[in-house]
Amino acid sequence: MSDRGRRQFLKTATLLFLFAREASAQTNSSVRAEFQYQGKPKEGMNCSSCLEFIPGDKDLGRCRVIPGDDEISPNGYCTKWNSM
């Protein structure tokens, strides 16, 4: 394989990987609505200080009380915020 063909292959593979990762992200909008999830903190309470928050590899994480949702912001808030 030539250098040009190898570069094209790597570009295509990288784009496919990023697209697949993006496509696998999920939100649980019905539970978010039920618990009044918002992407910003409320009165000093945020997801990163909640015991139910599970940090992700990058910016977003998951929450034990919002199943099937892997796009929870560490700066978010919901009514199930728990510090105990």
Q: pLDDT tens digits for 19-50?
A: 555 555 689 999 999 999 999 999 999 999 99
Contact 81, 50 (CB under 8 A): yes
- Residue 10: the pLDDT is 66
Higher model confidence: residue 47 or residue 2? 47
Per-residue pLDDT at 69 exceeds 60:
yes
- Residue 58: the pLDDT is 80
Higher model confidence: residue 27 or residue 18? 27
Q: Which of 59, 18, 24 is nearest to 76 (CA)?
A: 59
**Close Cβ partners of 64 (under 8 Å, ≥ 6 residues apart):** 52, 54
Express the helix, strand and coil content of the chain in percent, nearest 5 each.
35, 15, 50
